[in-house]
A and B are shown apart, each in its own frame.
Chain A
Amino acid sequence: MSVTKTKKSLHKRHDDLAQANKQLEILSGGIFADGELPTFAKKIKETGQFPLRPKKLEILQINVGYMCNQVCEHCHVDAGPDRKEIMTWETMEQCLEVIKNTGAHTLDLTGGAPEMNPHFRRFVEEASKAGIKDFIVRSNLTIIRANKKYHDLPEFFKKHNVHVVSSMPHWTRGKTDKQRGEGVFDKSIKALQELNAVGYGMPDSDLRLDLVYNPNGAYLPSDQAGMEKDFKKALMEDFGIQFHNLFAITNLPIARFLDYLIASENYEDYMYQLVEAYNPAAVANVMCTNTISISWDGWLYDCDFNQMLDLKVNSKVKHISEYNEDLLNDRNIIISQHCYGCTAGAGSSCQGTVA
């Protein structure tokens, strides 16, 4: 069922679902409250995986702000041009201190469109000196074409050996524009060609270019390897575009995707799909067990999804200003029913499948 499209975030519309507690209320109510479906806690107890505990920290994911040039329908961040939450340089300096001393091998910058943070380039320049093995920037692609000041981003990324991970919901214009907005497909194609032109995504290139696929509606992603093959074939044949890997990511029932599920009367069926596809092997490798997520204002979370639900880490250390990796690693991970999104089928994380 199609629903009315909007170009404003839930926050801007003062929608109830802009509030984390309202979302959590929905995720704990209805079919989960009356026992029709087991809660996530109950489910992982059945498979002996409760409480969920961190393993070795591998990824520091920093959300530098919720501002974005797009208003994607499925966005769990509820990002958009009207979001004003942006990481300050002061908080970035605190992050840089952490980056210099962390045991994590991957730094993952996300948003919104991280490039829209006014300190983005300075932060990347400084962070790239820390010697982190894998430095990811999650770029929505269209930002590269959005304004002249962003046109040189492919060169900038190359200079700092940034690993570019970009959203691309489909290899066809129709499906992509439906999810991400009119004209997004053409701009994304142009941006990918420009990234290819400076060496990104080429088979033997060290300049990593990965794409993220997430379903265009109330269904789960299927076989990641098969989708990657289809994407590669279509993008090569139609546009001469090359990339390295495709990450298939499940949409989690949070923020705008939750709003869509409810408005289109797909919520219950979607939660059934997630619960029925529960895979204990995915729980063992779920993203929150090797990641710390840092918000634009420096708070610490188990993952970007818990960040959006304002579920701060269950630790004495809750803010970047008091960061302590050993203390942080000794915590129970906070869970709710949205966690089923990361444990369905082959699992889902910011790096794709996990099982």
Chain B
Amino acid sequence: MSVYFIKPKKHIDKMASNNYYDPADLRKFGKITEWSEELGTKFFDYYGKVFEEGALTAREKALIALAVAHTEQCPYCIDAYTKDTLQRGVTKEQMMEAIHVGAAIKSGATLVHGTMMMNKVNKLEM
């Protein structure tokens, strides 16, 4: 590559005009404390504590977070926990398996409600 052009980005503190989601907003997550310091601080203290090494390793927790990020379909969380799991040496295969676990539960959760439908049909039909 002979020419390098680093596009200057201006991250203005308002919602990006054309998108609900802006990757730069993830960096502003910490700023939510500015509009409610007590609750925001309590949340981040709790959040930090949850992800500390405990009965589960920090890496196991990161993989759970990655799977949940997908079932919640949260772009910020997917961005953050893809990076976090990579940092912890997790392989692509492990990451994809974790997402399949989430997907299986999500689809299973849909399908298991089929029993409700079956119950109702059985009740209604002669």
Tell me, yes or no, whether A304 is within 8 Å of chain B by CB. Answer: no
Tell me, yes or no, whether B119 is within 8 Å of chain A by CB. Answer: no
CB distance from B84 to the nearest CB of A (A): 8
By the criterion CB–CB under 8 Å, are B87 and A220 in contact? yes
Contact of B1 (CB < 8 Å), options: A30, A259, A269 = A259
Tell me, yes or no, whether A276 is within 8 Å of chain B by CB. Answer: yes
Chain A residues contacting B3 (CB-CB under 8 Å) are: 16
Shortest Cβ distance from A172 into B: residue: B91
Q: Would A276 and B1 be within 8 Å (CB), given that A172-B91, A226-B88 are in contact?
A: no
By the criterion CB–CB under 8 Å, are A30 and B8 in contact? yes
Tell me, yes or no, whether A170 is within 8 Å of chain B by CB. Answer: yes
By the criterion CB–CB under 8 Å, are A230 and B89 in contact? yes
Shortest Cβ distance from A23 into B: residue: B4
Chain A residues contacting B4 (CB-CB under 8 Å) are: 16-17, 22, 26, 262
From 235 to 288 in chain A, residues with beta carbon under 8 angstroms from any chain B beta carbon are 259, 262-263, 267-269, 272, 276
By the criterion CB–CB under 8 Å, are A16 and B88 in contact? no
Shortest Cβ distance from A225 into B: residue: B53
A272-B80 Cα distance, complex, nearest whole Å: 13
- Classify chain B's interface size: 20 to 34
- How many residues of A are in contact with the other chain, CB < 8 A? 35
A36-B9 Cα distance, complex, nearest whole Å: 8
Which of B1, B89, B91 lies at the interface centre, i.e. has the most chain A CB atoms within 10 A of its CB?
A: B89
Q: Would A175 and B1 be within 8 Å (CB), given that A36-B11, A226-B58, A276-B27 are in contact?
A: no
Q: Would A219 and B83 be within 8 Å (CB), given that A31-B8, A267-B6 are in contact?
A: yes
Chain A residues contacting B83 (CB-CB under 8 Å) are: 219
A226-B59 Cα distance, complex, nearest whole Å: 9
Chain B residues contacting A34 (CB-CB under 8 Å) are: 8
By the criterion CB–CB under 8 Å, are A262 and B57 in contact? no
Tell me, yes or no, whether A203 is within 8 Å of chain B by CB. Answer: no
Q: Would A217 and B86 be within 8 Å (CB), given that A172-B91, A175-B91, A223-B58 are in contact?
A: yes
Tell me, yes or no, whether A227 is within 8 Å of chain B by CB. Answer: yes
Tell me, yes or no, whether B2 is within 8 Å of chain A by CB. Answer: yes
By the criterion CB–CB under 8 Å, are A16 and B27 in contact? no
Q: What 8 pairs between A and B have smallest CB-CB spacing?
A: A30-B6, A222-B87, A222-B88, A219-B83, A219-B87, A219-B86, A262-B4, A230-B89
Chain A positions within 8 Å of B, measured between CB atoms, are: 15-17, 22, 26, 29-31, 34, 36, 170-172, 174-175, 213, 215-217, 219-223, 226-227, 230, 259, 262-263, 267-269, 272, 276
